[in-house]
Amino acid sequence: MDAFNLLKTDHRKVEDLFSELESASGQAKMRVFEQIKTELELHTHIEETIFYPALEEPKQTHELTLEAYEEHDVVKKLLQELSRAKSPTDEWEAQAKVLQENVEHHVEEEENELFKKAKAVLSQDEIETLGEQMESEKQRQQRTGSKAGAKKSAKKSASKSQSASRAPKRTPVRKSASKSSSKSSGSKGSRSKKSAKKGRR
C-alpha cells in the first residue's frame, strides 16, 4: 500500500463530500457534514500518528510538516464549532465554506510540496510500510468508532424503554404528593399570617 496514494484517495473522498455539502440542504446537509467530520478526523489521526512523525526529522520536510500540524489544528477547531449546530444557519454555511477553503489549501500544499519532498527522503519500502500502517490504523479506528456508536444507540434505547416503563407509575404519585404538600403549606401559611395579625393587635 503506497502511503501517498492512500492519502490522495482520502483527499478525493473529502472533496466529493464537500461538493455534496454545497448542493444539500436542511438536515441532509448536516448528515453530509457528519461524514466530512468523520473522514477528516480519521485522516488527520493517521497523518499525525504515523505519516508526519516519519517526516519531522529530515531537513527537507521538517518545516512543511510542522506547518501541516498547525493547519490540522485550525481544521479541528472549525469542526468542533460546526458540530455544535443542529441546523445549517447562514453563519454555519459561511463557517463551512471557511473549513472547505482551509482543507483545500492544506491538500494542495501537501500534495504539491510535502509529498514531493517526502518521496525524496523516504525509500520505496518506507513508503509502502507507512501506507500499510496507516491503512491498518484507519481500519482499527473505524472498528472502534462503530462499536462506540453501537453502544451509544443501545444505551439510548435502553434508557428510553426504562423511562417508558417507569413513567405511568410515577406521574400520578408525584401529582398527588405535590397537591397535598401545597395544600398543607398553604394552610400553614394562612395560620401563621393569622397569628401574626393577632400579635400585632
Q: Which CATH number fits domain 3-152: 1.20.120.520, 3.40.50.410, 2.40.50.140, 2.60.40.10?
A: 1.20.120.520
State the pLDDT at residue 1: 86
Residue ranges per domain, the chain? 3-152
State the pLDDT at residue 189: 46
* pTM over the 0.85 mark: no
All three cell numbers of 95: 463557517
- What would the pLDDT profile of 149-177 be if each residue is shown by its tens digit? 666 656 655 555 555 444 444 444 444 44
Q: What DSSP state is assigned to residue 89?
A: -
How confident is the prediction for the chain on average, in pLDDT? 83
Q: What CA–CA distance (Å, rounded) separates 159 from 149?
A: 15
All three cell numbers of 103: 482543507
33-52 burial, b if ≥16 CB within 10 A, otherwise e? Answer: beebbebbebbbebbeebbb
Name every residue whose Cβ is closer than 8 Å to that of residue 68 and which is 6 or more positions away in sequence.
47, 52, 106, 109, 110, 114
Q: What DSSP state is assigned to residue 52?
A: T
- Closest CA relative to residue 105, chosen from 142, 125, 139, 78: 78
Whose cell is 485550525? That residue is: 74
Burial classification of residue 160, based on how many CB atoms lie within 10 Å of its CB (0-12 exposed, 13-18 middle, 19 or more buried): exposed
Give yes or no for a contact between 69 and 43, defined as CB atoms under 8 angstroms apart: no
- What would the pLDDT profile of 89-122 be if each residue is shown by its tens digit? 999 999 999 999 999 999 999 999 999 999 999 9
